[in-house]
Amino acid sequence: MNAGLYRKIRFAVGGGVLGFSTLAFADIGDWIPAQIARVGLWPQFTPSLLGIAHGAGWIAAGCVAVLLLTLLFGRVYCAMLCPLGVLMDLSAWLARRTGKKRKLPYRPGRTWLRVGAVGICAAGLLAGSAVPLGLLDPYSVFGKITSATLRPLLGWANHWISSATGLFHPVDVSPLAWTTAGVAIGLFVLVVASAVLRGRLWCNTVCPVGAVLGMFSKHAWLRLKIADNACVGCSLCERVCPAQCIDFRNRSIDHSRCVMCLDCVTSCKRSGITLQKHGKTAATPVPAASTGRHAKFTIDRRLFLASAVTIPSAVLGAEDTGPQNATRHHKRAVLPPGAKSLAHFQRSCTGCQLCVTNCPDQVLRPSITAHGLAGFLQPYQDFTVAFCSYNCSNCSQVCPTGAIQPLTITERRAVRTGSVRFFQDLCVVETKGTSCGACNEHCPTQAIRMVPWKNHLTIPEIDEDLCVGCGGCEFICPVRPNRAIIVDGLPVHERAKVLPLGQKNTIREIEEEFPF
């Protein structure tokens, strides 16, 4: 294929991936339905790899397709299918448009850094936490950046334009979590600064996906090769290579770091670099910098493959069935329906925030301390701002890693994510001697019923078998600062009793004021 045509295809596909991913993570108006968002993000490597371990179905085949593509054509995933990689290229291009020139001379690869990144991620998964992977995986990093920064900005812009012009209705966006935004902005600055100053430095040092794909790209069927008879040693190819993997002096290319952008091919005026089929005898010269006392650390193929296999296999750890007692001052965070258990969720969720974006009730929020360090930035249900709809399973439909298993609406209604705790001494019926019943009115499963109490009043009584832990009661409870009724998250989800057909499960519209 002509290199110029390939670059046009790369720009078109990369632009589409970047645009679609941005809309999916910054969605404030249901622009992209949950199922379409999940299908559109099919080729993302890490979510697909984790999805294999959790039986995510055909959606998990994306990583297999990426590996096959890499074995055929090298790291084209990094060039056009990775939204973070495309964002890096766009940032570097915009910087050059401002007149800022960068020099990207060849630098020997630091294989030990790439191996270390894979090892840290694998160790985290073996320990039961996907947080290290979530902070290094390009898909998850892009999701954090977009959902924590661009999405709130779009929400504010929506409210301002709608109030100023009245052209469309305002859309509610969950409150900005400043810690989450700080982490996202920090990652954004690191990614953009490295792209502007050092090209694909992030991809070839700390990105675990780049490390794994780099092992496969070394043996790709089509690879770039410097033609000795055509190269005049002008160094132009080396200067434009964003991966800093071309050593023109030794006529060598580090194919484990090459992201197949083909900038070198289009910049060479003498066709000194061409795509060639990789045969068994086609050896790449060893750079001078990799011999003697400056020798690069090399790694055996089996170690890379073992690291890649470790990621899905790490999900075989034990379930956490710790204590389930809650107090009025402390409770366990409630996981999304379909998360199965805290142990399963923490070792599978990379905190990409796609479920947060696609939650129509805005009850899902990234955790700071709710799950502990092992669940940093993984979502939980915040019943102080909303409650989980009894007739919604969007988060389970959009999760790409299998951390939240797909549920139908009928299945979701039978999942108990938490257990309700009622503190009678805090209830306004006892403290103020007045009627309330807000929790009863907003319970979709009739798990809360009002029973006779003194002075002709009624007070809540809980039927644990019917409770699904949706948080409607906690959200509507008027008692402050400690609510009289709370939902304590279950470490392992259970099955709730579903009312027979014919008995309606509804939630009344929430009143802005109470009659007391």
Distance (Å, whole) CA 330 – CA 324:
11
pLDDT tens track for 428-486: 999 999 999 999 999 999 999 999 998 889 999 999 999 999 999 999 999 988 999 99
Q: Are residues 306 and 364 in the same domain?
A: no
Give CA separation, 231 vs 267, 274, 310, in Å: 12, 11, 42
Q: Are residues 111 and 209 in the same domain?
A: yes
Q: Are residues 309 and 379 in the same domain?
A: no
Q: Work out how many domains the chain is built from and give that number.
A: 2
Number of Cβ atoms within 10 Å of the Cβ of 319: 12
Q: Which long-range contacts (CB under 8 A, 24 or more apart) does 16-19 make?
A: 17/80, 17/81, 17/82, 17/83, 17/86, 18/83, 18/86, 18/87, 18/90
pLDDT tens track for 147-192: 988 888 888 888 788 877 777 777 777 666 778 889 999 999 999 9
Distance (Å, whole) CA 162 – CA 178:
25
Residue 151: what pLDDT? 87
φ, ψ of residue 186 in degrees (nearest 5): -60, -45
Q: Are residues 377 and 309 in the same domain?
A: no
- 3-state SS of 32-91? CCHHHHHHHCCCCHHHHHHHHHCCCHHHHHHHHHHHHHHHHHCCHHHHHHCHHHHHHHHH
Q: Are residues 26 and 132 in the same domain?
A: yes
Residue 314: what pLDDT? 41
pLDDT tens track for 505-515: 544 444 444 44
Residue 438 lies in a domain: yes
Euclidean distance between the first and the last CA atom of the chain, given in angstroms as a whole number: 75
Q: Are residues 345 and 306 in the same domain?
A: no
Q: Are residues 217 and 347 in the same domain?
A: no
Task: Please say which residue of 255, 282, 313 terminates a domain.
Answer: 313
